[in-house]
Structures are given as C-alpha cells and as structure tokens.
Structure 1
C-alpha cells in the first residue's frame, strides 16, 4: 500500500492517477518483548493434494497457499490486505493504463540468478499462450492488458502482449482500458514469475524438489504426494534477514475431523478448515484457538447450461428457489456464514446490489414458485427430474450436498445423485464440461467486484457453466469503461440482476474463514479479507 493509505484509497476510489511512490518492506514484525521459540517450524493443513506447483497451471486455493511462499510477484499484501512491495519496490501510473514497476536490485532466484523484468515478460506471455493451457489465462484479459484476449484465442502472438522490459529493473505494462486497481491484481498466483531457463530446459519436471527454482522466501525441500510438502527458508531471498520461520510444512488433509484431531494433538499449527458440526464446541472449549475472519469468498452450485435440462432457465430457477439458504448458513455450516442470493460477497469494495425478488419471499413461497417452474418445464411426479451433483472430496462439502439434495427431494421430488471426486479429478471433470450440477467456490483474487463477475463472461477460462449472455458481458464492459465509481457500481448491479434472472449458478452462502490457529503463532493475519497468508510474516512464540 502507498505510504499515505487514506489518500491512496481516495485516489483509487475516484479512479484517479497516482504518482510514483516508494514502499516500505514487509517481513515478520516481532513486537518488542516477545520471546521467540527456539524451534521456528510451522505446520499447516492445506485441504487436499495440490494439482501442481506451476503458478500458470493451477486455479485453486491449496496451490496458491504454497506458491505464496515459493514465489514472489511484483506486489504483496500485509496482514490487513494493504499493498506492499514484493519484487517491485515502487510503481507508478499517470492514467491507470500505463504502469511502471521498479524492481529491487537485490531480488534473486533460489539458484542465485537475479530476478529481472524479462522474467515477468516471459511468464505473462506464457500465461496467455494457448499452448500452456492455463486455467487462469483469462485473468490477463480481465486486467485489460493489451492484446491478451486475442493471444488467448490464438489470433495474435504472445510477443504482442502489453508487457515490456524497459531494462533489467523496470517493467512497463500497457492496458487497453484504465484499471485503477491493476497493482492489486498483480498479487495473484497466476502472475507470479517462473525462471525461463529452468522451465524451458526441464519442461514439467521443473516443479520437482530437485529442480524447483523460485524467488520467494522459501524453497521446495520435499514433496511426498498425498503426504506432505516441506519448504525450507531461502538464503537467497532479498529479505531473508527478516524471515523468522525456518521451515513450513503443508499437509493435504481432506477430512476436517482428522485435521482437527491432529491440531488438538499438537501436530498442526493452522488448519485449512474446521468441521462444521464441532464449531460451537470448539469455540466453547478452545476459544483462544478458534479464529473467524472476514473472507471474500462465495459458495455456490453451478449448472452445466449446455446440457439438458439445465439449458432451461425454469429448471435452474426451480432448483435454486428450493434451497433453504438460511438452514444451510445457520445450521449446516453455522460459523457466521450468511445466506447468499447474489454472487459477489456484500463486503466487496464498491459493491451495490439490489437483492432479487425471490430473496424477499418466505421459503414456503419460494418452494411453491419452484414447483410451478418445474411443472412448466415438464417435470413432476409422472416425470421426475434426476441428475448428478458433483463435489470435491470433503466432509463439509458432503454435508451441504446431502442437505440440499434432501431439500430438493422433499419439496420437489427431484433426485440428485451425489458424486464426489478428489481435487484433481474434480477440476478436470469441470474443465471438460462433463457434469450436470457442480459444487463451486470462488474467492476474490483482489478486492473489487470484477474478480467475481468476470468469471461468468462468455469465453472466460473459469466459466464452467458455459453461461453466454451478450447483455451480461455488456454490463461488464460498462464497468470497465465507467468514468466514476457510481457508474461502475451501477454496471455491477446490472450484472448481478442478470445472474438472478438467468440463474447459471445458485449462490448458497458467503464464507467466513474459520480455522484453528496455534495461539503461539505470531503474525497470523486476521484482517486480510482475501486470506493471503505469507509465512515469512509469521513466527512461533516461546512458551
């Protein structure tokens, strides 16, 4: 974040240009009088086995958690979500279209190579290149980086992307449209750099522990698939003198009860989640260990709109209306989550949403409307609807799926056959479009409504429902071209209204982040709504 946080926030909210500014570095800030433990090793639950440790080939939270430690982008965040320097120690723009990033000269890769502007040029071209097949390629198009869309479609060469190494320590980025929050978008995992000579010489093998070259605060020491990923402190990291934790271990524990038990046994310092049914007991018995923090994240089900009968708007609406979101939020998950009738979390900066009409009905009235819509589509007792409901392996996801399937069966006579798949298979199934209805969750890549709404744009690489609406896309275009925050907010309101009308997804609830955290862990961020946790900023306190 800029030194004058209040002034910068006002500038960004007004869409105004900002001048060059230097930034303070951020590392573990141990308060005076705090005694550090002799053993500085952290163990984190990470939900599941990662899909990959290649930043341009992943799309999930578990992968981002690890990559945040292994790789450093242009910009980082502090514990409040404010921007701080990463590889770039300062940046500037005059019109929010041309951005200049100035690199710190002591940034290095773990093999000793200097981190230079050309590394980011190579990486971002690689992200856009259709040959890479990145599930996050469309993120570049969301930034409006020049020619990104045409490159992703194969119409232009990756070399035409709007990014240029002015010299070794200066990166110039050219956007097609002014994006006042562009710097915050560079925090994202997909834009973190890779070492060109390592990637091109080793191919997919570059991500093994023996070959991995990163520029983050930690290096990849061990990777035992389905067991653990162990990171070691990097001696080449530019701010290593301020890093405290010497080792970070990530455990792919899919069962929340098992993870809880390992935490209570002292084997895990930070859990990925908490078992919903144990939350109230844990709050009562271990109040110092339970951390509930804001989270820009939405839980929803998505329809495969290219597959009958989910190409029918009435069927989609009927299933959505029949979900009792109050029951799901308060009793099935019950950690402070809020029922969702729109996609974008209400705490998102600059969001103004008019709740859809069905949100104002009683649940009894919603079910009655759902029955009418389903009958109109030709389904009823003489022709019952049956389909598969896909979710990734997790006891918490299973509990939600069982509850919703029961609601559909009881109120509509609809049968949802539950199908769980482990993380990698689940992602692959969705990317191939081989599903009826699927569980989904989306967490903001930056704090602005477009990070949610843009994924449902026609052609977006994360648009698994295959939603296609010219009217919806036009609202997003209006937001990008908006001359004021009010105009941008109005466009987003229009986009949310279209989602409620067309119902390509069923919003269910907006998350909070609830997990168990060792009270001896200092520096744990409790006010970062994007839940971007950097291990380099934490430390273990002595008993």
Structure 2
C-alpha cells in the first residue's frame, strides 16, 4: 500500500473515531421549568428546597426510581430493640462537591443548623421532630444544641435518638430536614455559603450558577459516589416566563401543565403524545390567611363557602376530567385518609341552597353585610381558571364580593405570611410527601391544626408573637424567644377547640402504638376530625377544592420516573435515564 493511501486510511480512521466519540460524549442537558425561590439555604422551607431533594443534596436514605427507600449516604444502619436509637454508618467514599470528605459530623451540623430557630423557618420538621429534644430546640424552648438527640460518634458513625419509636423515621431520612450541610463553608462564609459559586453539596449534582428570576444551572458532581451512574450531565431550571410557550419553542424539556393549556394540547397530536398523566398526592386548596373577622370563626360560614363551589363542574369542564372533587387535603393515596368518607363528603358537597341557608343563619342573608374577600395571587396564577371559577361561584351562589389582588411573586411570597386588615386568601397546592399514615399527622402538622382551630383574634395574636420571636432571635435574645414560645404554646393548647385537642391525643396515642392496624385506625380517626372541622396547617384554615391529576409535558427523548407523592416531581435527577 502506498504511503499516500496509508495516510488517507489513517486520517479517515481518526475522523470516524472523532465522530463516534463526539456522539458518545455529547453533553446531555435536561431543561425544565423549575421551582422558584430566593435562597439555597436548607433551613428555609421554600421553592429551591425541591431542587436539593432532586439532585443537589442527599440524605442518609434516598428513594430509588421505584419509590423504595434505600441507603443513601448511609451504607448501613442498626435500630435498637425499643426502636428509639438509630445508628448509621456513613459511606467512606462519600465526598462533597468540592472534594472534601463527608462525615457523620456534617450530618450532625446540618440537622442542628436546620433546626436552629435563628436560621430559617425549617424544612419539613415532621421527621426531625421525632428526634429527642429537636422540637424544643427548634421552638427556642431550649438553647443548647447538645441536648438534641443527634451525635457523631466518630467520622463515620452517626447516632440519632428519638423521643419514642416511629416506624416512618427511615423514610423521613430522605427529606431535607435531615440533610448534611458543609460545616467549613458556613463557618467561613456564613449565609454567603448558600450562594451560587459558594454552595457545596453532596448529591449527584452541584450548583454552577443562579440568575434570579431567569435560571439556575446544575452540573454533574464528579465527586458523587455514584457519578458514573448519573447519565445527564447538566440540568437547567428556567425561572419565570411562560412555561407552555417555552416548551412549544423547544426551550425546555419538562413542564407542569394546568387546565388553561389542556384545550391546546388536545388539538395538537405531538403535544398530546408527550402529555404524561398520573394520580398524585396533591390537592388544590384555598388558604384563609391571618386577619381578624368574626365571620370566619363561624363553621356555618366556612361550610357555606365550601358547599357553594361546584367541584364536579370545575373538574369536568375546567380540568377536562383530569381532576376529581376533594374533601380532604390528605388524598386517598395516603393510608388513613378520609377523603372518601361519606360523612365528610356529605358535609361539604355542592349544595348552593344549603350554602345560602347557612350563610343566612350566620347573619348574612344573600351575602348582605358580608366582608369583601381578597384573593392574593401572583402573576403565575393570573390566568388560572380555578381561581376565576371560585370567584364566580361565590359571587353567583352567595352574593359576596371577591377582589383579586395580583402581586409580584417576591412580594406575594412575603405577604401571604403577614397580617391582613381584610379577609384575605391565597391559592396553593398541598402534598403529603410519603405514603405512611403518620406523614400528614406529624407533630408539626398537628400543632398546625390546633392553630387552624383558633378564633381569628387568637390567630392574629399568635402571628404577632411569631414576628416578635423572629426579631428576638435576630438580636440573639434567646431567653425572650423562649418566653414568646411559651405564650404561643399556651395559645395553641389552651384556646384550640376540644375537637382539635382530641385529634392531638389520637396522634400521640398512634405514635406509641406498635400494632399497624390499630395505628392506622387511630390516624384515620384523627384525619376525620381534621377534615370535618376544616383544620389547616399553621394558623390557616383550608378550603379544599380538587385533586388534580399530575399533568406534565415531557419530550420523548427523556425518561422521567415521577414521584406521585412529591408533587409529581421526578424522584431525583439522578434517575433521569440513569445508567444501569
């Protein structure tokens, strides 16, 4: 063979090899319309915490793609005979995204940081409050973190002592309250440790950049112990903008869709093929916020507001059949739910005549004298037909006036937690995070239900105290914060209704019950009391509307195993087309 032909063959082989290598190593990018948020700090319970759960961070345990709880950062664990002491062995190949060794001490630091009342408002305290003295520390009743039942025995051994046996504790170890935090970063940078460019995490991805209201970018963490199994190289979370329009322009690969988009999807064969629908543990709810007006202390008024909403019609025509009426914020996917209980349904099912009669008996015939209701929404909700449908139903069936106040997202996210001069409500979804009867009835939720049973004037007093406690903690006055917590507990436990306290006693009894059938029945009874009396979370009262099916548009070149409990989000970005 001539030298020229040899060179041609050699160069051709190089070209072909490069082409194949280019295909094999082409960057795999997954784009989605992501969560909103203003901090990556795990001690705050808000939007970006979901991104931590979906790939930035990993707990002692994690979910696999089939929603089974498996070992995460813990390679093994043991449980004491009485079910109160969990000893976890941390993986020795676990690393932070900057290459530092991850140890049991990072878990101890992270859990206590998240519980610390001087930091955020807490994320999913339910599981953490199982830990001995965790609740007292989080509520500023005690100030010594060493009293909390979390201790690193050595670099690779973490011991967690609970206040009693809790069968669902291992599941809660998948949630952000029990995530590790990079101690060295926080000690050096303080709150700046949670900014893009500084954030050090331990999950399959790391945060590369974050442009507020535009996007965040995650890249594969090369130090993750299972990095070779993570197939997607980059995650781009788009923030703001019209998600549906962005999807149609091929700017994102995954979005959530609602009733406003369904008519368009039904007429488009490509979009219709890419629509993924499945049951989810989510309900759409109206939250009654913090204000003082006696009308909303009257169960007849609250029942009238529920019975004046034609949920069947909304599900059929607004949601195109992709939803069903809801009468409990705990869906029937969760054991112990009373969502299908005949008594609960009968009390709140659509009956405009009965609703008008109840309103009249409460002193507001035909809506006369009833205060104007304000719906506090953000621009993302401005075209939500559900909100417009509820407004129309109340005005038509009850004769009451409803005003919609549309606020910028950042302003809205602050205002919903503040005091209001007039009756004010907001719309949101509520989800139960995992399928155990204890999940919707952990102590933080139950205390929230006690708050939901309070008179409106007591709600206002409680919220004012909460604001005072925040200021006390900012100034480092832990003694004052503890004193305020005591006053808040007095309000919750002395002024809540007898029915609410009965619900609390049922839950406390269930937590100590080993028999699974008896435990389930106790939780079911507690759920029914909450549903019949419309107790909510925190100091809110909920008006439960509908249970929508999860509706997502996903491009066909991505396999996304959805978690029906975590608001339909992917189980973890680590499991999008994961290599086997």
TM norm. shorter chain > 0.5: yes
Structure 1 unaligned blocks of 5 or more: 1-34
2:429 — aligned with what? 441
2:355 — aligned with what? 370
- 1:457 lines up with 2:446 in the alignment: yes
Distance 1:456 1:310, change over 3 A: farther
SS of 1:268 mapped into structure 2: coil
| Partner of residue 525 from structure 1, selected from 545, 552, 561 | 561
1:11 — aligned with what? none
Distance 1:540 1:493, change over 3 A: closer
What per-residue deviation string (whole Å, max 9, x for no partner) do you get for residues 313-372 of structure 1?
A: 2221111121111122232233622211112010113545562536237966x2222222
SS of 1:288 mapped into structure 2: helix
SS of 2:284 mapped into structure 1: strand
SS of 2:87 mapped into structure 1: strand
- 1:191 lines up with 2:178 in the alignment: yes
Distance in 2 (CA, whole Å) between partners of 1:488 and 1:306 is 37
1:41 — aligned with what? 29
Q: CA deviation at 1:184?
A: 0.8
What per-residue deviation string (whole Å, max 9, x for no partner) do you get for residues 221-272 of structure 1?
A: 1111111101111111111122221111000135xxx32222222211111x
Contact between 2:132 and 2:149, CA under 8 Å: does it hold in 1?
yes
- Number of paired residues? 498
Q: CA deviation at 1:482?
A: 2.5
1:99 — aligned with what? 86
Distance 1:276 1:86, change over 3 A: same
Distance 1:161 1:461, change over 3 A: farther
1:298 — aligned with what? 283
Distance in 2 (CA, whole Å) between partners of 1:210 and 1:315 is 51
Distance in 2 (CA, whole Å) between partners of 1:193 and 1:463 is 32
Contact between 1:213 and 1:219, CA under 8 Å: does it hold in 2?
yes
What per-residue deviation string (whole Å, max 9, x for no partner) do you get for residues 65-85 of structure 1?
A: 355322111111122211122
* Alignment of structure 1 residues 275-424 onto 2, 5 Å: 275-283=258-266, 285-286=269-270, 287-304=272-289, 307-308=292-293, 309-334=295-320, 336-351=322-337, 355=341, 357=343, 359-360=345-346, 366-381=351-366, 382-395=368-381, 398-424=384-410
Q: Which has the higher contact order (CA 8 A, sep 6+)?
A: 1
Structure 2 unaligned blocks of 5 or more: 1-22, 460-491, 535-540
Q: Which structure shows the bigger proportion of residues in helix conformation?
A: 2
Distance 1:212 1:500, change over 3 A: closer
| Partner of residue 238 from structure 2, selected from 251, 269, 289 | 251
Distance in 1 (CA, whole Å) between partners of 2:244 and 2:262 is 10
* Alignment of structure 1 residues 4-403 onto 2, 5 Å: 38-47=26-35, 49-60=36-47, 63-93=49-79, 94-136=81-123, 138-140=125-127, 142=129, 144-156=130-142, 157-253=144-240, 258-271=242-255, 273-283=256-266, 285-286=269-270, 287-304=272-289, 307-308=292-293, 309-334=295-320, 336-351=322-337, 355=341, 357=343, 359-360=345-346, 366-381=351-366, 382-395=368-381, 398-403=384-389
Note the aligned Cα RMSD (angstroms). Answer: 2.8
Deviates further, 221-230 or 159-168: 159-168
Deviates further, 108-117 or 472-481: 472-481
1:509 — aligned with what? 546
Distance 1:363 1:243, change over 3 A: closer
Deviates further, 477-486 or 241-250: 477-486
SS of 1:295 mapped into structure 2: coil
What per-residue deviation string (whole Å, max 9, x for no partner) do you get for residues 37-87 of structure 1?
A: 83311111115x323211111234x54135532211111112221112211
Contact between 2:259 and 2:319, CA under 8 Å: does it hold in 1?
yes
Q: Structure 2-normalised TM-score? A: 0.79
Distance in 2 (CA, whole Å) between partners of 1:427 and 1:461 is 24
Distance in 2 (CA, whole Å) between partners of 1:464 and 1:167 is 45
